[in-house]
Structure formats: structure tokens, C-alpha cells
Amino acid sequence: MDALGWLIFLVALVVSVMLHETGHFVTAKRFGMKATQYFFGFGPTLWSFQRGETEYGVKAIPAGGFVKIVGMTSLDEVDPEDEPRSFRRAPGWQRLIVLAAGSFMHFLFAAVLIFGLALGIGVENECTSAKSPAQLAGLQVGDRVTAFDGTSVSTFTQLSSDISKVKPGVPVTLTVLRNGQSLTLRTALANVPGHGSFLGISTTSAKTTQISTVTTCVPVSEQALTGTVFQPESPLGAIEYVGTSFSQVITGSVSAIGQIPAAIPHLFAGNRSSTAAGNVSSVVGAAEATGQAVAADESWQYKVSFVLELIAELNIFWGVLNLLPLLPLDGGHIAVVIWERIRGWFARVRGRPDPGLFDYRKLIPLSFSVFAVIVVFSLLLVVADIVNPVNFG
């Protein structure tokens, strides 16, 4: 089962990568740009075929994918006949759409997964929105129940037995001792499917009626009394859940990216899980988490929910990461196009000719440095996830 989890994650990873590249590829084709290659992986070609002007295939190193669009930068050499269809000759708004399409596909894939999860399997929850009878009655932690519906009780076992004999919805009275004073409280028992009548209190021992916990809501099933359940959402509720999930994951992604400098020193620490390094992981760590979830002694709903949410969260993270204004990420190219348009606008305002394409040679050192940092940190994460994995619980 653990191996099955790894396989599921790897398939999802391939799908995610190729959806990203498909976003670039489809929009480039739509705008008439010439795309000569569409590949999964890097390095030597293992297999490929030619269809039209594009070569499709698989490379030897499965570390991503790419689409080659002619004339991506001012440095690319392009045949004169292909120059009109090059990326760099397209209007700025078209180039921005092509560049952002990769992250858009990540976001779209994540939204579809989260929406389907909420609508089909449901959102993990423990109870309905209804307040528990105990909360409605005003019971408090520390109260000692002395009588239920006029009958004296001295143990929780006796109290539970009396509760089970009353039908849900029937009004009841509880006599409690609070701060030395006797109070009479009134409520109506709720119904928990598969369990029956429900009040919503617990004690530290079956031999006492002193309340240790007051439940705030009504469980949706007997299973929820000891665990969690999954409640399918309506289409509108599923859409709202997508929005909430995106907000939480984007906030978490930005936080995780910001914690990377603090995480590096703790990647190989014994307490990694409790440090900033516990919030960052490589694809190896994510695959291991998927394997653990699939192999866990949990319900199928939990397993499917965990896997789908993990894949969705990773796609949102990758989408956000790719939009960072750093070369060679898509966001870096987007920043260059925006700067070209701003520079061109200022030139027109001043009555001067458009300065044209930005000289990428000025950014080669920065681009190479960022690429090197990404590669080194990614390899460091992989090694850390192998020798000092995060405990996902």
C-alpha cells in the first residue's frame, strides 16, 4: 500500500508538470507562436515523435518538463522566416498570458480537485452547525450533575443510561451543583445517527458526574463521537471551500517560502519536525507522506481526501512559486515583459521611440545564481527527506 501511495503521487506529479507545460503550449499555439518541442523531463531523449512542427516526447531525467517556443528572449537565435511567429514579437499582453498560463493550470487543477473532493467525498468535519443540548442548557465544566429528569444520579454510567432511555427531541431537566448552589437547567436531547440521544458532556471517570468537557456541537454520526466524518457540500458550499482552501494554502505557501532561510540550518536536526524545516519538503517527502496515508489504518474517505488535498496544495504552491519575479521562473519573465511595457510607455510619453526588447544579457548572472540556488536547495531537501524525514503523523 505504501508503494501504491508513491505510485499515485508520481502519476499526479507527472500530470501536474505536463498540465503546466500544456498551459504554455496551448496559449502559445493559440496566439500563433511557433512551439517546436513539448517534452517531459530533461537531458537525452528517450522517446519522441513528430506531429506538424512540434516534437513530443520524454527525456531521460524526470525532473520537470518544458515547451520550446522560438524566440523566448532577445538572446535566442531564430530563423528569419520564423521571426514573425516568435514569442518576442508577440504583443505584451499575449506574452503575459502565455507565461502565466503554467501557473493558471496548476491553480485550475487544484480547484477541480478541491471542488470534486468537497462535492463528492465531503469536507472532514465532526459535527453539524447545531449547538449541543449541553451548551444550550448552559452546563459548564466543573458542574456536578445530581439529577436527570427528576431522578437522582451519582455516576456517569447511570447518567448515560438514563439519557439513552429518553427519545431525541424530548425536553429534559438537569439538576447540577455549581459553586455550592443547586441549579435546575432545561434542554432537549439531540439525535446522533447510529447512536441515539445525545446530551454533550463527558467526565474524567465513569464513577463521577462532575463535568470535564461540554461539547459545543452535535456530532453528525456515531463515528464522529470518537473521530471525524466527511460531509458532502452543496455546489455553492464546494465553491466556497475552494476559495477558503486557496486562501489558506497561498498564505501558507508565502509563509513557507519566507521560512526557507531559517529552515536550512535545521534540515538535518533531530527535531526537524518542530522547526521551520518541518514546513518545507521535497517531492520525496511529499511522496512519502502520500505512501503513509494510503497505507494507514484509516477510512477510504480519509485516504482519498488526504491525497487529493496534498496534490492540490502542492499545485497551488508550485503555481505561486512560479510567479515569483525571479529568473528563470515564469514570474521573472513576466517581470521583464512588464518592465518592457512600462519602459515603452515612458518613451512614448517623452516622444521617443520604443526601446524594444530588454537585453537579457544583463540578467544572465542573476538568472544563473537563482537557478543554482534552486537546484542546490532542491537537492538538499531531497537528501534531508531521505536521511531525516519529517514526521507527518
User: How many angstroms separate the CA atoms of 392 and 307, rounded?
Assistant: 13
Q: Which grid coordinates belong to 236?
A: 455553492
C-beta separation of 155 from 208 below 8 A = yes
C-beta separation of 273 from 391 below 8 A = yes
User: How many angstroms separate the CA atoms of 103 and 321, rounded?
Assistant: 9
C-beta separation of 207 from 160 below 8 A = no
What separation, in Å, do the N-terminal and C-terminal C-alpha atoms of the chain show? 17
Q: How many CB atoms lie within 10 A of CB 318?
A: 21
83 is catalytic: no
Closest CA to 322 of 56, 26, 90, 24: 24
Q: Which grid coordinates belong to 142?
A: 466543573
Q: How many CB atoms lie within 10 A of CB 55?
A: 16
What phi, psi does 376 have (nearest 5°)? Answer: -65, -45
User: How many angstroms separate the CA atoms of 20 and 14, rounded?
Assistant: 10
In the block, cell 445517527 appears at 193
Which residue among the candidates 21, 233, 309, 340 is catalytic per the annotation?
21
Sign of the alpha-carbon torsion through 38, 40, 45, 49: negative
What phi, psi does 183 have (nearest 5°)? Answer: -125, 145
C-beta separation of 287 from 220 below 8 A = no
Task: Tell me the catalytic residues.
Answer: 21
